[in-house]
Amino acid sequence: MTLEITLDTDTHKLHVYKQDPEKLKIYTERKWRDEQLLLTDKFVVIPDSPVDYKVYREALRNYPQQVDFPNGERPTM
């Protein structure tokens, strides 16, 4: 959500757009999570891929459902 603020001067109306900080944080965290999933995609197709990758990917998928999302701890491998 973008917030719009209009400032009036003697000669102009200025429109200032400000991103809602909470929505921006959610977007940033989801983008990070999606990038991490893409980076680990290649390991999923390998039959003998390390279990760590599977556990990490599951944690990434569950990350947005955390109670303290988007302010909680990011999953790590």
Higher pLDDT among residues 30 and 9, named by residue: 30
Q: What residue spans define the domains of the chain?
A: 21-77
The DSSP-derived string for the chain is -EEEEEEE-SS-EEEEEEE-HHHHHHHHHHHHHHHHHHHHHHHHSSTT--HHHHHHHHHHHHGGGSTTTTTSPPP--
What pLDDT is attached to residue 6?
Answer: 74
Per-residue pLDDT tens over the stretch 15-55: 777 778 888 899 999 999 999 998 888 766 666 667 778 88
Beta partners for 14? 7
